[in-house]
Structure formats: C-alpha cells, structure tokens
Structure 1
C-alpha cells in the first residue's frame, strides 16, 4: 500500500481478505453512510477506478409491482459510483461531491441486481466537473437501469 493510495482502497484491501470481509466492509460503509445501509448492498469488488456492488431482491426494497423500487436501484447506483470515484481519490489533498444523478430505467428489476461503475484516471489538481456511467444488471445479465452520476472534483483547499 502506498502512502497516497486512496484510503477506501487501503480499507478494502485490509478488510476484504478476512473471512466474511466483503460483508464486513459493506456493513462499515453502512455505518459511515446510514442511508446507503437501507438497501443492504454488498460490495463485491473494489479496484482502482472500478466498483461492483450487489443488492438482493427482498421485500424491503420492492414496490407495489413486486419489482425492485426505482429509488433502491438509484441508491445502489450511487453507492457503486461513489466507491469508484473514491478509489481514484488521493489519500490527501483532494475532495469530491455529487452534483447530479440521472437514471434510465430499462426494465423491471427482479432478483439480485449487480451494479458496476468504472472511472478512468483523474487529475485532482484542478477543479473540474465529470460524469460517469453505472450499469445495473439482473441475474440474467440484462440491463435494468443505467445511471449517469456527475461529480465536481478537485484539490482540497483546506489542505493546500
């Protein structure tokens, strides 16, 4: 682990190799961001620029049509996107914030849904706006939702 490796990656590498490490890491995310805990998602993988998380289909996330609620899907997409951007964030001297989030619901989501977001290398030295893409797929591999997160990233003026 390098000194400027993103903190979230350091935490993932430490915890995920333990027995039930993915589950524990996911619970820790939920303690840090309580709203994210409402969908009970599990982080499946986290690498530089890539995050994958999954949400089970359960009554608590369903709508009146017996499919997964749009807001639960959006919550999974946001969690995954933010983990991906955090995996590119230097350990010190950088910050980010979500400035927008667009969603397109492609088909009813039933069963476990897996979200994937990949973010290329970023220049954190100057303030900038950027967008990403999150794909949510059902167990058959069909896309159920596409999301476009938008962030503002840049140097942390307080640490400059």
Structure 2
C-alpha cells in the first residue's frame, strides 16, 4: 500500500486540529477539492470517509447541495481510499464515474468510499470503488461507482 498519504493521516489525525490540517494539505496538493472544503473523518486501506458542510458555495438554485459538489466529494473519497489501498509498486488514475442522484441533499453530507471487489494486482486493470453520500439523517442521497485504472509503476 502507499505509505505516504496514510502515514501523514496517521501522524495528523489523532492530534487536535489534525484532521483539519490533513484535509487542507490534501487540498493544497489537489486544489480543486478545496472548493467543497472537505473534512476527512476516517482513512485506512479500503475505507475513506469525508464530510462537507452545507454552505452557500456548494448550493444549487434550489438551495440543496449541488450535484457536482457531490461528484467532487465522491472522487476525493474514492481517490484517497485508492491511494492508501493500492500497492506502493502501482499507480492509479480515475477512468470513469457513474453516478445516481437519489434524493435532494438538504443537509451536511458524508461520503464513504470502499472497494467493490478485490483486484488482482498482478496485471493492469480496473479497480471499482463504490461511494455512498448520506445526509445527516443517514439517508443515501447520492451513489457513485468510480473506475480506477491501476497499473504497475515503470521500473
């Protein structure tokens, strides 16, 4: 597994303000994610949980969380989970994402990313990541499947 991102999480997450600092560091590395102001809740191989607050900057014309804000959140959770799950000898890149908007998102949200299957790391291939976004009441408002293309790093 990739130890860099996970090691930083493990170093920061248990300290006061550490989860906030980790979230800011990750958004510094990938600035677009900063637009949703994510907060990492949990991170380990095969699991990532990220939350966002319902605030004006992520709303649509209906006053609910915008669909693309939820896509952004799903890609962040899915990509970070993949980063700490794939072997250090491999690299990955998102290849595609299928999404379902199930219900209006009227509150703060939490996204959880987990693998949909156990990959065979010995050959290049697709790694499918499932992401569910829930509202504060625990109802799923959005679901995504992100296909990651995973290959061994060049020697």
Task: Bin the TM-score by the shorter chain.
Answer: over 0.9
Q: CA deviation at 1:67?
A: 0.2
Task: Spell out, residue by residue over 1:61-105, the C-alpha distance to the aligned partner (whole angstroms, 9 max, x if none).
Answer: 0000000000001000110001111111223x2100100011100
Q: Which residue of 1 aligns with 2:64?
A: 67
TM, length-normalised to structure 1: 0.91
CA contact (8 A) 2:2 2:83 kept: no
1:25 to 14, 22, 25: 22
Q: Which residue of 2 aligns with 1:98?
A: 94
Report the count of equivalent residues.
154
Distance 2:32 2:67 in 1: 15
TM, length-normalised to structure 2: 0.94
Q: Which residue of 2 aligns with 1:109?
A: 105
CA contact (8 A) 1:6 1:89 kept: no
Distance 2:119 2:16 in 1: 33
Task: Spell out, residue by residue over 1:12-37, the C-alpha distance to the aligned partner (whole angstroms, 9 max, x if none).
Answer: 10111221110000000110000011
Match of 2:37, SS state, is coil
Divergent runs of 4+, >4 A: none
Distance 1:6 1:138 in 2: 31
* Pair 1:86–1:109, CA change in 2 (3 A): same
